[in-house]
Amino acid sequence: MKNRWLIALLLLVVAGVSPAFAQGGAGSTGSIQGEVKDESGGILPGVTVTVSGTSMMGARTDTTNSQGVYRFIGLPAGTYTVKFELSGFGPVTKQDIRLGIGFTANVTGKLSVKNMSETVDVTGESPAVDTTATRVQTNFDKGMLDSLPNARDMWSLLGSTPAVQLRTFDVGGSSAGTQTGYVAYGNGGQNRPLIEGINTTEGTAAAGFYFDYGSFDEVVIGAAGNTAEMPSGGVLTNFIGKAGGNKLTGEVYYEYEDGDVLQSTNLTQDQLNRGYANIPRSVIQQLGLKRNEANTLVSYKNLNASIGGPIMKDKLWFWVGLLRQENTVYQPPSGAILDGTGFLTKLNNYTGKVTYQITPKDKLIGYVQYGVKQQPFRVVAGFVAGAQNPTSKETSLQDSPSWVGKVEYNRILGNRGFLEIRAGEFGYNFALVGNDQTTPRVEDRATLAVKGGGYDWELDRRRKQIHGAYTFFAEKLGGSHQIKVGGEVQHETGRERFFSYWSNNVLHVVNNGVPDFVRLGLASDSWNGLRNYGLFVTDTFVLNKLTINLGGRYDRYRVFLPEQARPSSRFSPQAATFAAVSNIQTFNHVTPRLGVTYDLTGDGKTVWKANFGRYFFNPGVGLADSANPNTGTQYSQYAWNDLNGDRVWQAGESGALQAQFGGTASVVVDPNLRNSYTDELSTWLERNLGGNVGARVGFVWKMDRNGRQQENQNRPRSAWTVPATVTDIGPDGNANSGDERTVAAFGLNPANAALPVVNYIFNPDGYTADYKTLEVGATKRFSNKWSMVSSFAKTWTSEFGTSYFGTGVGNNVGSGGTLAGGFSGSSGNPITPNGQADKTEFSQWNFKIHGSYEPGWGLRLTPVFNMQQGFPYGRVFSAAVGGLTQNFMAEEVTAHRLPTYKQLNFRAEKKIGLRGRAKLGVIFDLFNVFNANPEYSLNARTGRLTISETGVNVPTLGAPITILPPRIARFSARISW
């Protein structure tokens, strides 16, 4: 009766506006359940079941019900022992039951009539297939986190996760501290990275926090099939911190790489001849640089130190950790610094966690992690991708703190109910200051060369949030029901400030050295906000072999603008103020989630699964910024007539107005604006092969719909009606060389060109995307000396994208497109008849496998192998039509492919016992074992560039931008006690 009143109270609270209960995919626990029978197969009610483990305080007991079933919910991830006892029967203990976050382990008990006094011990085989869940989830426990040879960051783990693909690839820490885009089953948006259940998403897809990898005990990555707890349709990650324990433990871990001693080179002369690492001759002579070392790692250092344990045993635990990570590469992951300045990244993190078991049923958790990222020579560009910086003066200084913290309360209600409530904040202050702010900024859209100083800019984000959920079981509703009800409230603000928009507030863009357009910018101080509420309910209903996961979710997103002001600056001499707007746009969504699993063989070893879900997009504060008359980035873009030929804009050199944001430009939001969403269908066949091995084959279809973007309402596609011709000078980039051709084009109607800018936010017709993936995979939990995770996935993509890995934009789209693929540089609905107007359709596959093997003698071997088919690209050129520059596809996007990426990394660790409980681990890593050198970013634009070292002039088409770093070795040591 008490539980019924509690359930009713929770439902009433969740149905209102109170932020009391939510989870949003933020759970940090798992469950152990099962049934107990005698030797004849008869059910045994009244059996006392006890569960214990080093990750929990004390032990918990339950008694099997009339169906012989027991349950333990709300268990922290870890390894457990389950003991079964009943008078008249011999006790049975099952050990080494591995439980991951979000996993339900079915552990059965079989008791024999008592004929001996001692307990029967069984080394438990952890279930390899979750027979109740339809989500596609990968768990990394502490052993796996310690074993993988990687850069010790989030993206390294994503790179080892089945069906997840990265935009850039790390070799021995070459990209440590630098974020990279990623996709799962083809779809690259709306991800949700959580730390201890707190949402740390930057914008709507990226990670906003560079965390301490060594501070985590368990990581879960949900790539598809997420339940109603997850609001959006991307990848769900949850990182759970170490908590200490009943024994005082500590660890000191140190990694070191020296690029001068332990590193190869892998660049070919052909890659250098095509323009990679176009280092000026004077710099080579002055500093003694070598172009064939341009993609190498200069140095890498990583220190982790931690200590944790009991303040009071089984009552109060603590854990604190420290990270010092530093790496320097000769060239940044994208773009280049051509004077030999090393690309330095520093991360300093401080982490603390306290766990207090108030009573056997009540727990309180406090957590905080504070980090500072420093990059003194960050490559920043206003327009081009893969900017080539002649010197470090063109770069910017980043010195940015970020943090995440929470307080969480858990309560166990018998063994049938579990309550979790957490409140916290994520935030950062991301600042970039140009190392030169006086020299005029000029960027070449064809050669990617830039010169001149940077801007003075800062973005501050805050997300205050409350999450929680109540889970309980109901046995008398036609079967077994595990019901979870909850919701969330998040209040997010973003403040973006341009203290100076490039040097003297002007960005110059040229095309093969010829003046193209200028952006005249304003200083700005823009505030944007989002308040969202989420409510969900899920029911896992088990009836014999059938399990139905039925869920529903309600989300409310309210986009708003705080009161704000724009300061005076060169092109806006008068300051301006803007009143608060409480409701720019509100979306209300009710969405279904349905999953079905069927135990084909009745023994939990062969399971068929199917899943459907609709996931509406989180608009983030980006929609508020787009609709804000005081938007964060404000400029007017004009065609540039460089009358005196000095390559510096002066008053009177502005041609036709091409685009405008802020200033006098108005913003209109379609009153019928619809939120974008993803429909996801998946089906899987999973098989437990024994020996902790599970295999699966499945199909996932992700359908993005209702794409949204911003366009100039006075320049619709129908206004591009003036016939014109443009010249494609051909793949060699030389005019009048015999390979040029004339291409039909359309210019803008003069009447429309004369109208003022009205930025219109709406849903273009037909703005959709589809991603279909077939995957085969196998996983083996560690047992009998080895473990393995493997996956082969092939994805068929259909989207409005023409630039993969920044090869060259071949369509003309509006801004703020919501259906942006993770590898597509400009996914958006076309707004002119020039360029590519149709979707790009192609397939792409990836394969990955990693595992560990322990042959004995304290030795552990861990290979990691990844392969990824290269993405397509076609030649692009730009030309002015009626004074407005447009992009054109000279070839189909699928005319060529980037090379297939292949990389093998390897780790060997030898553990040596020291005094007492202390152990020493000596580690050797070898990255890019085969010294592969695929180009995973290149220039597909039409033009010419001159190689400074030789003076040879070559086409920009095919010039490599990013090449996989060469083979390198790393030595590490870990002392633990």
Is the pLDDT at 10 greater than 50, yes or no?
no
- For residue 512, give Cα distances in angstroms to 426, 443, 812, 943: 43, 10, 20, 6
Tens of pLDDT, residue by residue over 762-779, are 999 999 999 999 999 998
473-478, Cβ contacts within 8 angstroms, sequence gap of 24 or more: 473/71, 473/73, 473/416, 473/417, 475/65, 475/67, 478/541, 478/543
pLDDT at site 100: 79
Q: Are 630 and 662 in contact (CB under 8 A)?
A: yes
- Name the residue with higher pLDDT: 442 or 915: 442
Is the pLDDT at 116 greater than 70, yes or no?
no
Mean pLDDT score across all residues of the chain: 91
Instruction: Name the one residue in this structure whose structure tokens are 């083996």.
Output: 780
* CA separation for the pair 596, 133 (Å, rounded): 8
pLDDT at site 99: 84
Which helix (DSSP H) or strand (DSSP E) does residue 283 occupy?
A: helix 281-287
Residues contacting residue 565 through CB under 8 Å, at least 6 positions apart: 525, 575, 576, 577, 578, 630
Is the pLDDT at 963 greater than 90, yes or no?
yes
φ, ψ at 177 (rounded to 5°): 80, 5
Is the pLDDT at 976 greater than 90, yes or no?
yes
Is the pLDDT at 11 greater than 70, yes or no?
no
**Looking at this protein, which amino acid is placed at residue 490?**
Q
- Name the token pair of 762: 């709406």
pLDDT at site 824: 84
Is the pLDDT at 17 greater than 60, yes or no?
no
Is the pLDDT at 87 greater than 50, yes or no?
yes
Q: Among the listed ranges 12-21, 260-269, 309-318, 581-590, which one has the minimum average pLDDT value?
A: 12-21
pLDDT at site 489: 98
- For residue 447, give Cα distances in angstroms to 260, 510, 514, 798: 31, 9, 11, 29
Q: Among the listed ranges 19-28, 524-533, 580-589, which one has the minimum average pLDDT value?
A: 19-28
pLDDT at site 725: 95
Q: Are 37 and 30 in contact (CB under 8 A)?
A: no
Q: Are strands 944-946 and 953-955 parallel, antiparallel or unpaired?
A: antiparallel
* CA separation for the pair 73, 857 (Å, rounded): 38
Per-residue pLDDT band for 543 (boundaries 50, 70, 90) equals confident
Q: Over the Cα atoms of the chain, what is R_g?
A: 29
pLDDT at site 15: 34
Per-residue pLDDT band for 54 (boundaries 50, 70, 90) equals confident
pLDDT at site 123: 57
Tens of pLDDT, residue by residue over 704-757, are 999 999 999 999 999 999 999 999 999 999 988 999 999 999 999 999 999 999
Residues contacting residue 918 through CB under 8 Å, at least 6 positions apart: 975, 976, 977
Is the pLDDT at 9 greater than 50, yes or no?
no
Rounded mean pLDDT of 904-914?
96
Give me the DSSP letters along 711-743.
Answer: EETTS-GGG--EEEEEEE--TT--TTSS--EEE
- Name the token pair of 341: 């300045």
pLDDT at site 5: 37
Which helix (DSSP H) or strand (DSSP E) does residue 145 occupy?
A: helix 142-147
Is the pLDDT at 45 greater than 70, yes or no?
yes
**HEC states along 886-939?**
EEEECCCHHHEECCCEEEEEEEEEEEEECCCCCEEEEEEEEECCCCCCCEEEEE
**Looking at this protein, which amino acid is placed at residue 638?**
Y
Tens of pLDDT, residue by residue over 630-673, are 999 999 999 999 999 999 999 999 999 999 999 888 999 999 99
pLDDT at site 191: 93
Tens of pLDDT, residue by residue over 350-385, are 999 999 999 999 999 999 999 999 999 999 999 988
